[in-house]
Chains A and B, each alone.
Chain A
């Protein structure tokens, strides 16, 4: 057993874990943050994407011990109180979800994507960047639309703030 400590959604958490515990399992079973989903168990489907120190990571591809001392954000930590993050709001607004199982991972991947590309995010880039996230329901069309809309909105608000 090992002790890990990290900041998850703004709170410091500590846990006693087996060394082999995956970050996804620690978040779900240790912390009860069940919004991070496990789809394929093998780091391919992207349902378990979270942010570790600001970068999108498939949390089933990382040991919890590797996240010791890191800052982790899960889907539950994205909204500001009652106010959805613009990417969350866009997925809802543009019907970018059906069964919802891939949605948290999609959103976490999208937030990271938008932060890296800013307002220059075009549709082809979104589609390319989303290759690590599988959705079996929507055909991706509305997901791409939602990410584009959120990227435009976020870059617009960034520009406004800078003016």
Chain B
């Protein structure tokens, strides 16, 4: 038996390696671009207008494109037999522009050629005449024009206006938070292969195969059952392949339909960065009322998001910003409003955290502002405002049942990272150094787990048991590196009590598990592992019933153990029992289905419970800044994070480390810049700074919180881990604020995110120039 004193489980809750690890290190893992191309495969490139961000197309001359070497077809909106739209929500995202340019990078036509190079060269030869209008680029400009993509929305509880007026102290301010490019290492790619009857098979790098299937069917005007999407793995996604894969899959399918040949479309990196949506950037106008001990009485937080030219997923993204505008703090009276601003920029989309990080960072700004104003340690102000007994209702009415977990995590981290002693050391260092200043911050994470669109909280799985005892595993989730497949396989191996190498992980396939939601909202393993377990349970029940009849042993005396089924005292190999069952006409294939319980959120009335539970964590970061140059280094990071009872601690720690660094990049070096004509000037890693190994602190201490398990009955009492760690990096931003604030006690640094050296230097100068209040 594989039992150990610490766990009754053989496969789950173990630090097992990523299932594709050996293939990754050997270069044999297959991504879409590595799938062998059918003979005669054609290659595609998008064509677009490089001169305009907004206007009407008055002339489109594609003669030179058609005449270019290697070109087989040139596709425009007129070639789309069905719906020319790839929106995941309410429309407004043409696959190919239909007369109107809405942002710089909008695809106007697509070239199909013998080779990718020929397609790309030909695409540059188009002559597109656009009658230009002045584009609206910034949130501020969109606010002036009152241009939105969706109606405004708000949470209100209590009497925030009155409470702000009667609070002992009151602060108001404006903060801006930048967006973020996903920079998945594998760019957007699809290869469509036409079949009989007009069927289409698409190899696609997407987090949402069912939606790609839906979009392709709609565009080609064929039935969804004739379109199949397969995803073996993605080379990273981070939300950037939730809706943003739709367009490229639709174009590849259109090319395949028109030419009758397999068509592949892999975006060039610069095109990818120009043409696909990013994390939303925000302007936040806030007022906070508080007492002299730092206790918040009331907040008024107005979020204005740059959504870009269409709605895409902005409804849910900005809702999640509002759901996280409390970070971990109790607001007795609150008004949280949101506006979804329309600009002539690429439509912003899902990005790990899905709006949550921006809401939480705004809350941390409130805390820092209060602490600096009152001369208190920000950690004390944070703790003063944590959810607690009698102060456990969020602004959207959900109770934070597990606030004690948050308290325990912060208390433990405060001790293990030696916060108080280091605070004193830093105070002494800053007093002794005029140029270099250190900062320290310990910030919490509380992240709501569930899609806030309730219908997305469902998943399916398909499991077959074969007569050699091996298992074919399929589920609706997609693998983007996060380790979803190994976690689900661990659960299925545990169910059947078989070795992990008997469980065959297979590519996500819309023909095996249909009508799935996206692999997003950190919910991949919560949903799919549960569905897979139920499928396995169904097969086991049938086997047990069969064995009970055949051997005359009561069903409670039949157990699965160590590759065998113990029938009474008689062990039989699982494969042997399977073979016998098949001979007796017992079905050994089953589907499993899971829908998250307890979700009752009603957006219209803003009532009910949006989340099943919260994932918690905390991080403490120390930074040093150079007040002459704005340069900054993160010198130490301590993390304590709650994953419930981890399904796989190695995978989870990897998610925490990677999420932290991605969040740190968002808040420090990753700056998106559009010029005044709406052109993105940061469209390659040469101008857009992704963290590299030397940007990450050597002293990086990550621990899992020793949890008793998720109080909700999730899969083996684990908690979701995909997104929450991104927000651990708020500690880096707050530590920078702390370092700048050390220059002039009482002055709140006007630091916006990302805290680039330029932004830090500007904040330093502003603080130095400020009059002490």
The answer to the question of A6 belonging to the interface, with a C-beta cut-off of 8 Å to chain B, is: no
Residue of A nearest to B702 (CB): A141
Contact of B657 among A38, A76, A127, A141 (CB under 8 A): A141
Contact of A124 among B33, B481, B657, B698 (CB under 8 A): B698
Residue of A nearest to B692 (CB): A131
Please determine whether A139 and B660 come into contact, CB atoms closer than 8 angstroms.
Answer: yes
A to B contact number (C-beta, < 8 Å)? 179
Chain A nearest CB, measured from B295 CB (Å):
36
The answer to the question of B235 belonging to the interface, with a C-beta cut-off of 8 Å to chain A, is: yes
As a 0/1 sequence over residues 98 to 139 of chain A, the CB contacts with chain B under 8 angstroms (1 = contact) are: 111111100100000000000000011011101101111111
Please determine whether A75 and B27 come into contact, CB atoms closer than 8 angstroms.
Answer: yes
Q: Which residues of A contact B692 (CB under 8 A)?
A: 127, 130-131, 133-134, 140
Question: What number of B residues sit within 8 Å (CB to CB) of A?
Answer: 57
Within 8 A of B (CB), among A32-53: 33-42, 44-45, 47
Chain A nearest CB, measured from B264 CB (Å):
11
Within 8 A of A (CB), among B1-55: 17-18, 20-31, 33-34
Please determine whether A42 and B236 come into contact, CB atoms closer than 8 angstroms.
Answer: no
Contact of A136 among B17, B117, B690, B693 (CB under 8 A): B690
Please determine whether B700 and A41 come into contact, CB atoms closer than 8 angstroms.
Answer: no
Please determine whether B20 and A141 come into contact, CB atoms closer than 8 angstroms.
Answer: no
Among B141-149, B181-189, B192-200, B589-597, the one that faces the other chain is B181-189
Are A39 and B186 also in contact (CB < 8 A) when A99-B235, A131-B694 are?
yes
Please determine whether B29 and A100 come into contact, CB atoms closer than 8 angstroms.
Answer: yes
The answer to the question of A59 belonging to the interface, with a C-beta cut-off of 8 Å to chain B, is: no
The answer to the question of B575 belonging to the interface, with a C-beta cut-off of 8 Å to chain A, is: no
Distance of A139 Cα from B235 Cα, bound (Å): 15
Distance of A102 Cα from B657 Cα, bound (Å): 16
Please determine whether A84 and B270 come into contact, CB atoms closer than 8 angstroms.
Answer: no
Please determine whether B234 and A127 come into contact, CB atoms closer than 8 angstroms.
Answer: no
Q: Which residues of B contact A135 (CB under 8 A)?
A: 185, 693
Among A63-71, A87-95, A151-159, the one that faces the other chain is A87-95
Please determine whether A137 and B236 come into contact, CB atoms closer than 8 angstroms.
Answer: yes
Q: Which residues of B contact A127 (CB under 8 A)?
A: 692-694, 696, 698
Are A76 and B28 also in contact (CB < 8 A) when A98-B481, A131-B694, A136-B690 are?
yes
As a 0/1 sequence over residues 622 to 659 of chain B, the CB contacts with chain A under 8 angstroms (1 = contact) are: 00000000000000000000000000001101100111
Are A39 and B185 also in contact (CB < 8 A) when A131-B694, A140-B696 are?
yes
Contact of A99 among B28, B268, B480 (CB under 8 A): B480
Q: Which residues of A contact B481 (CB under 8 A)?
A: 97-101, 137
The answer to the question of A72 belonging to the interface, with a C-beta cut-off of 8 Å to chain B, is: no
Please determine whether B658 and A34 come into contact, CB atoms closer than 8 angstroms.
Answer: no
Are A92 and B21 also in contact (CB < 8 A) when A124-B698, A138-B657 are?
yes
Please determine whether A100 and B698 come into contact, CB atoms closer than 8 angstroms.
Answer: no
Contact of B185 among A45, A78, A126, A139 (CB under 8 A): A45
Residue of B nearest to A91 (CB): B25
The answer to the question of B661 belonging to the interface, with a C-beta cut-off of 8 Å to chain A, is: yes
Residue of A nearest to B23 (CB): A100
Distance of A142 Cα from B702 Cα, bound (Å): 12
A interface secondary structure, majority: loop
Are A139 and B661 also in contact (CB < 8 A) when A44-B685, A45-B185 are?
yes
Residue of B nearest to A99 (CB): B481
The answer to the question of B286 belonging to the interface, with a C-beta cut-off of 8 Å to chain A, is: no
Please determine whether A128 and B236 come into contact, CB atoms closer than 8 angstroms.
Answer: no
Chain B nearest CB, measured from A99 CB (Å):
3
As a 0/1 sequence over residues 212 to 236 of chain B, the CB contacts with chain A under 8 angstroms (1 = contact) are: 0000000000000000000001111
Please determine whether B186 and A92 come into contact, CB atoms closer than 8 angstroms.
Answer: no
Q: Which residues of A contact B28 (CB under 8 A)?
A: 35, 76
Question: What number of A residues sit within 8 Å (CB to CB) of B?
Answer: 55
Distance of A138 Cα from B658 Cα, bound (Å): 4
Within 8 A of A (CB), among B683-701: 684-686, 690-694, 696, 698, 700
The answer to the question of B482 belonging to the interface, with a C-beta cut-off of 8 Å to chain A, is: yes
Please determine whether B27 and A35 come into contact, CB atoms closer than 8 angstroms.
Answer: yes
Please determine whether A126 and B693 come into contact, CB atoms closer than 8 angstroms.
Answer: yes
Distance of A150 Cα from B654 Cα, bound (Å): 19
As a 0/1 sequence over residues 434 to 475 of chain B, the CB contacts with chain A under 8 angstroms (1 = contact) are: 000000000000000000000000000000000000000000
The answer to the question of A4 belonging to the interface, with a C-beta cut-off of 8 Å to chain B, is: no
The answer to the question of B269 belonging to the interface, with a C-beta cut-off of 8 Å to chain A, is: yes
Chain A nearest CB, measured from B326 CB (Å):
27
The answer to the question of A79 belonging to the interface, with a C-beta cut-off of 8 Å to chain B, is: yes
Chain B nearest CB, measured from A18 CB (Å):
8
Q: Which residues of B contact A40 (CB under 8 A)?
A: 269, 684-685
The answer to the question of B396 belonging to the interface, with a C-beta cut-off of 8 Å to chain A, is: no
Distance of A1 Cα from B233 Cα, bound (Å): 36
Name, among B25, B185, B690, the residue most crowded by chain A CB atoms within 10 Å (CB to CB): B25
Please determine whether A37 and B235 come into contact, CB atoms closer than 8 angstroms.
Answer: yes
Residue of A nearest to B697 (CB): A141
The answer to the question of B662 belonging to the interface, with a C-beta cut-off of 8 Å to chain A, is: yes
Please determine whether B694 and A141 come into contact, CB atoms closer than 8 angstroms.
Answer: no
Please determine whether B686 and A136 come into contact, CB atoms closer than 8 angstroms.
Answer: no
Are A100 and B26 also in contact (CB < 8 A) when A44-B684, A134-B685, A139-B696 are?
no
Distance of A87 Cα from B97 Cα, bound (Å): 48
Q: Which residues of A contact B750 (CB under 8 A)?
A: none
Name, among A39, A47, A76, the residue most crowded by chain B CB atoms within 10 Å (CB to CB): A39
The answer to the question of B238 belonging to the interface, with a C-beta cut-off of 8 Å to chain A, is: yes
Are A130 and B185 also in contact (CB < 8 A) when A88-B26, A92-B17 are?
no
Contact of B661 among A79, A91, A131, A140 (CB under 8 A): A140
Please determine whether A98 and B186 come into contact, CB atoms closer than 8 angstroms.
Answer: no
Chain A nearest CB, measured from B396 CB (Å):
32
Distance of A142 Cα from B649 Cα, bound (Å): 14
Please determine whether B26 and A84 come into contact, CB atoms closer than 8 angstroms.
Answer: yes
Please determine whether B186 and A99 come into contact, CB atoms closer than 8 angstroms.
Answer: yes
Please determine whether A101 and B186 come into contact, CB atoms closer than 8 angstroms.
Answer: yes
Q: Which residues of B contact A75 (CB under 8 A)?
A: 25-27
Chain A nearest CB, measured from B226 CB (Å):
29
Within 8 A of B (CB), among A3-57: 20, 28, 33-42, 44-45, 47
Please determine whether B185 and A102 come into contact, CB atoms closer than 8 angstroms.
Answer: yes
Please determine whether B657 and A34 come into contact, CB atoms closer than 8 angstroms.
Answer: no
The answer to the question of B477 belonging to the interface, with a C-beta cut-off of 8 Å to chain A, is: no
Please determine whether A142 and B661 come into contact, CB atoms closer than 8 angstroms.
Answer: no
Please determine whether B17 and A95 come into contact, CB atoms closer than 8 angstroms.
Answer: yes
Chain A nearest CB, measured from B662 CB (Å):
7
Q: Which residues of A contact B693 (CB under 8 A)?
A: 126-128, 130-131, 133, 135, 140, 143-144
Residue of A nearest to B651 (CB): A95
Contact of A97 among B25, B186, B238, B661 (CB under 8 A): B25
Please determine whether B700 and A141 come into contact, CB atoms closer than 8 angstroms.
Answer: yes
Chain A nearest CB, measured from B669 CB (Å):
12
Residue of A nearest to B483 (CB): A98
Q: Which residues of A contact B236 (CB under 8 A)?
A: 98-99, 101, 136-137
Apart from A35-B28, A84-B25, A139-B657, what are 4 other A-B pairs with CB-CB below 8 Å? A91-B24, A98-B483, A127-B693, A136-B238
- For this complex, 9 residue pairs linking A to B, each with C-beta atoms less than 8 Å apart, are A38-B33, A42-B686, A95-B21, A95-B654, A97-B25, A99-B480, A101-B236, A137-B658, A142-B654
